[in-house]
Every structure is written in structure tokens, then in C-alpha cells.
């Protein structure tokens, strides 16, 4: 009998996620009922927010129940279908969980139409949630006008690097803030972002003053904490802060809670600026349109991204750790199984 390897969350991490928070079980492979589809997971996305789902407190998702398969954003291949909308061999995105197989109604899955020459993994990353987040966060909340100054944190990350490049395409003066020489070099040399700050090695305030002498019109914030304060302090009149995430806070306090200084926040008042939270699920109606635009840019070589794939669910904890220690190079995926339909 075919089995299904599952990772279940059995206790809630207080800070770092460890192997001890999961139980790994082999159960019988699920059988699809009427209207359902059997999917074999190929890739699991490791977004920073996965860490928040493990907490007891509700986020934009209900908390992950203990003892159940860990929620996971996956790309898979249909192996059996009881719905004419999907056929064996179709690639689908869905909430397939941290496991090898799952069944779901066809209506809960998003059928992919991968283009020749674009890696399949890109459809579980830049040509999906991250791309939509970057594009819609910047254009709808940032409301950019050519010539304005945009500062992006976690700028070499999967969302951040797209925001930087889309900003450049829109004629913005882009400043990216990232951790480490290698990430900064990638932004400069591959993504064409000339103004880059290595927050681990440079005086961020002084560099922002040098690179944004007239202040900041749009801040695309992915991290929070002290670097965000330095950005807020340099906001211009009527600036827009796209609050996309606060990744520095997700892993728990561990002695030193991540906080914002009130003096820095006061600049939002002083400059009548606006901070607005962004949630990608509010923009799913634009998915096809935005992914189409991004796909064209990927195909013509004008939009760059990195995808890092670790092999096997056994590497899931390591993949999560990489994202929270800046050891990921772009989108972090875990490969659950290989390519085409079995």
C-alpha cells in the first residue's frame, strides 16, 4: 500500500522552530472522493509567516491546530481526478500541507499553465504569492510616481528583490537594504539596483542620508525593528509606508523584544505620512493579470529572482531556520517529490 509521509505540529515553538515541534508519521495515502482530486506535492514554500501560523494567536489564518498536518503552501501534480476541471498530469497550487499527498476538491486548487523555459518552481514563488505581494503592495499602497525615492528592506529576499526591480521599472529611485556583501552584490550586479545598503556592515542612517538626501517617499517594509526606525525618521511629507511584514519579530522575543521607537513613529505624524498594512489575499482578483506581467518580464530577462531548493521534508526545519537567519538566497522551497505525473 502506498503511504503518505506527514509532518504534524505537536507543540508550539516559543522562538526557533525545531525538529522536536513535529511528529513525522506514515499514514495510508488518501483516496479521492466524488469531485475530489489526488495531488502529489512537489514543492513546499517556506514563507516567513509559516512561523506565525504555529503560534496560538490567530493571524490572518486561524492558528495551526496541534496534532494535525502542518499547513503548507504547495505546488503539486494531479495523480487522479474525480472532477473534469483537472486531469492527471496537471500542475496545481494549493494548501497541500507538509506532506507527500493530499486530496482536495478541484475548486480549492489553482491550475497552472507553465510556460516553456520558466522553471516550475517559479510558479510556487515569484509567479504567485511573492510576485503579487511585491507588485500590488508597491503599486496599490505605495502609489508610486516616477522620480520618487523608494526604500525596501529585506531587499534581496523573494518579495523585496521584486519590489526593488518593479520600482526601477516604474522610474523610482530605489534603495535596497539587505544583510551581507553577497546579497548586496547580487542586487547590484544581477538586479541592477545601484543604491544598496548592507545593514550588517554599514551605518544605515548615514547611508540613507547620503542616498536619499531629500527623504523617502515610499518605504516598503518587510522587517521592522531598528532599521525600520531609521527609515521612518527620513520619511518625506505625505510618504507612504507599505507594511508588508515584520519578519524580525516572528521568531519570538528571546530576551529582547523587537520594538519601534516612538520618536521614529512621530515622523509619520510630522510628515502626515501613511502606514498601511498589506495582505496579499485582498489582491487575488489581480492574480492572473499580475502574474502575466511578471511572467513576460521573467521571459524577456528583465526580472531576476533566486530560488533555493532543499531536498526532502527532512530539511523543512533547516529551511525555516535559513529564512530567519538570512541564510536563504531568495525564495526558500523544499522539494517533496520529483516532477512529472507518476
Residue with cell 526601477: 168
Told to check if 159 binds ligand NAP by CB under 6 A, we report yes
Q: How far apart are CA 319 and CA 336, in angstroms?
A: 13
Kindly indicate which of the ranges 16-24, 112-120, 152-160, 292-300 contains the residues binding ligand NAP, using the contact rule CB under 6 A: 152-160
Q: Which is nearer to ligand NAP, 29 or 261 (CB)?
A: 261
Interface residue with ligand NAP, options 39, 73, 77, 244 (CB under 6 A): 244
Shortest Cβ 326–ligand NAP spacing (Å)? 3
* Cβ-contact 320, 51 below 8 angstroms: yes
Under DSSP, the state recorded for 234 is: T
Of 77-85, 101-109, 172-180, 309-317, the window that binds ligand NAP (rule: CB under 6 A) is 172-180
Is 286 one of the binding residues for ligand NAP (CB under 6 A)?
no
Binding-residue pattern over the window 179 to 208 for ligand NAP, x denoting contact by CB under 6 A: xx--x-------------------------
The residue among 218 and 223 lying less far from ligand NAP, judged by its C-beta, is 223
Contact between 156 and ligand NAP by CB under 6 A: the answer reads yes
Q: List b or e across 179-211, with b for residues whose CB sees 16 or more CB atoms inside 10 angstroms.
A: beeebbebbeeebebebbbbbeeeebbebbeeb
CA dist 227 and 205 (Å) reads 8
User: Dihedral of CA 290/296/299/301: which sign?
Assistant: negative
Count of other CB atoms within 10 angstroms of residue 249: 15
Total site size for ligand NAP, rule CB under 6 A:
29
- List binders of ligand NAP among 10-49 (CB under 6 A): 47-49
Burial of 164 (0-12, 13-18, 19+ CB in 10 A): buried
**Degrees (nearest 5) of the Cα angle 133, 137, 141?**
160
Asked if residue 94 binds ligand NAP (CB under 6 A), the reply is: no
Task: Confirm or reject binding of residue 163 to ligand NAP (CB under 6 A).
Answer: no
Spatial separation of the C-alpha atoms in residues 64 and 124, rounded to whole Å: 21
Among 9, 235, 248, 317, binds ligand NAP (CB under 6 A): 248
Applying CB under 6 A, the residues found at the interface with ligand NAP are: 47-49, 129-130, 133, 154, 156-160, 178-180, 183, 222-223, 244-245, 247-248, 278-280, 323-324, 326, 328
Amino acid at each position: 500500500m502506498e503511504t503518505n509521509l506527514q509532518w504534524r505540529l505537536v507543540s508550539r515553538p516559543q522562538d526557533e522552530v525545531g525538529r522536536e515541534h513535529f511528529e513525522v508519521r506514515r499514514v495510508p495515502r488518501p483516496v479521492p472522493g466524488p469531485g475530489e482530486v489526488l495531488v502529489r506535492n512537489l514543492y513546499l514554500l517556506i514563507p516567513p509567516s509559516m512561523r506565525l501560523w504555529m503560534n496560538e494567536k490567530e493571524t490572518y489564518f486561524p492558528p495551526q491546530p496541534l496534532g494535525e498536518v502542518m499547513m503548507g503552501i504547495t505546488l503539486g501534480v494531479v495523480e487522479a481526478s474525480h472532477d473534469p476541471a483537472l486531469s492527471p498530469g496537471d500542475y496545481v497550487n494549493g494548501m497541500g500541507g507538509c506532506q507527500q499527498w493530499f486530496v482536495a476538491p478541484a475548486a480549492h486548487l489553482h491550475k497552472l499553465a507553465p510556460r516553456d523555459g520558466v522553471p516550475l518552481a517559479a510558479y510556487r514563488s515569484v509567479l504567485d504569492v511573492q510576485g503579487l505581494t511585491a507588485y500590488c503592495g508597491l503599486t496599490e499602497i505605495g502609489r508610486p510616481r516616477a522620480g520618487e525615492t523608494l526604500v525596501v528592506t529585506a531587499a534581496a529576499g523573494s518579495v523585496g528583490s521584486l519590489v526593488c526591480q518593479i520600482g526601477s521599472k516604474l522610474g523610482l529611485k530605489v534603495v535596497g537594504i539587505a544583510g551581507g556583501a553577497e546579497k548586496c552584490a547580487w542586487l547590484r550586479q544581477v538586479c541592477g539596483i545601484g543604491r544598496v545598503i548592507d545593514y550588517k556592515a554599514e551605518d544605515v542612517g548615514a547611508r540613507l542620508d547620503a542616498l536619499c538626501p531629500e527623504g523617502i517617499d515610499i518605504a516598503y517594509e518587510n522587517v521592522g525593528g531598528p532599521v525600520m526606525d531609521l527609515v521612518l525618521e527620513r520619511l518625506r511629507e505625505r510618504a507612504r509606508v507599505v507594511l508588508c511584514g515584520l519578519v524580525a519579530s516572528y521568531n519570538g522575543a528571546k530576551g529582547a523584544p523587537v520594538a519601534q521607537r516612538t520618536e521614529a513613529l512621530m515622523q509619520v505624524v510630522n510628515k502626515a505620512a501613511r502606514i498601511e498594512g498589506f495582505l496579499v489575499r485582498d489582491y487575488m482578483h489581480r492574480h492572473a493579470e499580475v502574474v502575466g506581467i511578471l511572467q513576460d518580464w521573467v521571459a524577456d530577462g528583465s526580472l531576476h529572482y533566486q530560488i533555493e531548493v532543499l531536498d526532502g521534508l527532512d530539511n523543512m526545519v533547516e529551511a525555516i531556520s535559513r529564512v530567519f537567519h538570512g541564510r536563504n538566497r531568495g525564495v526558500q522551497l523544499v522539494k517533496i517529490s520529483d516532477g512529472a505525473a507518476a
